[in-house]
A = this chain, B = another copy of it.
Amino acid sequence: MAERVGFIGLGIMGRGMAANLLRAGFSLTVWNRTPERAESLGAAGAVVAANPAELAAASDIVITCVSDTPDVEAVILGSHGVIHGIRPGSLVIDMSTISPQATRAMAAALAERGVDMLDAPISGGSEGAAQGTLSIMVGGEAPVLQRAMPVLQAMGKRITHVGPHGAGQTVKLVNQVLVVGNCLAMCEALLLAQAGGVDLARTLEAVSGGAAGSWMLSQRGPQILARDWRPGFTVALQQKDLRLVLEAADQQGVPLPGTALIFQLYRTLEAKGLGGDGNHALVKALEALAGFEIEGTQPTV
């Protein structure tokens, strides 16, 4: 019999992921801090729990997908948290992006109750969440991942076991370094193209398929040309993840000069109230510096 799943955190990513679990036939209980966000899933067949403890009591596998380290700690360890409802033999899968250290501490706290844990942060943007094509980086024990696999496969297409507790989070930070680095490259490239007077849509078409290609360029390049700032992943969340990256790099003695520059650029977007834009709005920081803008056009392709 399929395991009963509980899903905590119905934000920009979680909504799509939970919907995919329903679609895959899982019996689903959901909870969100802002209850309104749970309504559409309730209408689609999910049970809406009153709090994380109640959700945990009704689930074999509890998934958390919230914003930051303190949020995960609150829904798992806080009052009415998962830990107060969960039964031994259950499994918690945290799909948020948080500190590797905090992850290891929570895994230990849950283990004392006989509960397994995986850190399983994700990549792929809101599109990947909606389409069930996320990349999932998993830290924890192999047999536990085996158990989680059917659930994870309903949400992602590339599920990789990268090591023990915390390793998933470390790889997610690595992922974010790549995301923002590819993003800065895209923004600088488009500014140069704009100033050079070439057609931007043709430029994207010409360079996306070769050695310059990236997911970022293919997915977000056309959005920039259309000046469409709807988020796959918001500036505010990107900045939050970069804080985790730079903290880890500082602890481990790794110089990340490019990432440090990018952090400073994103910082100005938050200060200007653009934290809710998609992370490709990084281009607006460069535009402010340059004194000109990418011209909004519909891409040809």
Contacts and interface: CB of A to CB of B under 8 A. Distances in A.
A270 B249 CA distance: 12
Given A203-B162, A265-B289, A267-B253, A192 B211 contact: no
A126 to B, nearest CB: 10
A11 B264 CA distance: 34
A281 interface: no
A161 interface: yes
A224 to B, nearest CB: 13
Given A135-B206, A158-B206, A249-B192, A198 B255 contact: no
A171 B185 contact: no
A174 B135 CA distance: 29
B248 A267 contact: no
A174 B196 contact: yes
B210 A252 contact: no
A155 interface: no
Interface string A173-215: 1111111111011101111110111110011011101111111
- Copy total for this chain: 4
Given A128-B211, A174-B190, A288-B289, 5 more contacts: A177-B189, A181-B182, A182-B182, A192-B252, A211-B215
Interface of A: 100, 123-125, 128, 134-135, 137, 157-158, 160-163, 167, 170-171, 173-182, 184-186, 188-193, 195-199, 202-203, 205-207, 209-217, 219, 232-233, 243, 245, 248-250, 252-265, 267-268, 270-272, 285-286, 288-292
12 contacts: A158-B206, A161-B202, A163-B197, A170-B192, A171-B198, A174-B189, A174-B193, A174-B196, A175-B207, A253-B270, A254-B271, A255-B289
